Amino acid sequence: MSAVHLEPGDLEPVVKRLRRAQGQLAGVLNMIEDNRDCGDIVTQLAAVSKAIDRAGFAMISAGLQQCIRSEEDESEARERLEKMFMALS
């Protein structure tokens, strides 16, 4: 199976999402340390989780575009992309 290597420009949106998630996670840690309401903490944890999931999907989307441009065997590409999607579920 061949690997997909993404261009740095393709990763900019992913990095932005992950930096946002990193900030949200730091906020969650502060909320826990400040003994904030459990419901508020869970809500923020859900937001962090969603941001990380979206970063993963953005990477897969960029990878899919690379696969379409390359001449990789269709069944190999499908199997590899399916594995990536399943890793996020």
* Residue 70 per-residue DSSP state: S
pLDDT digits (tens, 9 = 90+) for 14-59: 899 999 999 999 999 999 999 999 999 999 999 999 999 988 888 8
Question: Tell me, what's the pLDDT at 26?
Answer: 97
Using an 8 Å Cβ cutoff, are 76 and 1 in contact?
Answer: yes
In a domain, 76, yes or no: yes
The alpha carbon of residue 34 and the mean position of all alpha carbons in its chain are separated, in whole angstroms, by 28
In a domain, 5, yes or no: no
Domain of 75 in residue numbering reads as: 10-87
In a domain, 1, yes or no: no
Task: Determine how many CB atoms are found less than 10 A away from the CB of residue 85.
Answer: 13
pLDDT digits (tens, 9 = 90+) for 75-88: 777 777 778 777 77
Residue type, 33: E
Tell which wins on pLDDT, 7 or 13.
13
In a domain, 62, yes or no: yes
> What b/e string do you get for 32-41 counting C-beta neighbours within 10 Å, with b at 16 or more?
eeeeeeeeeb
- Domain total for the chain? 1
In a domain, 4, yes or no: no
This model's pTM is above 0.85: no
Question: Tell me, what's the pLDDT at 40?
Answer: 96
For 6, the token pair is: 């993404």
Task: Determine how many CB atoms are found less than 10 A away from the CB of residue 88.
Answer: 13
In a domain, 66, yes or no: yes
| Residue 36, domain CATH | 1.20.58.1000
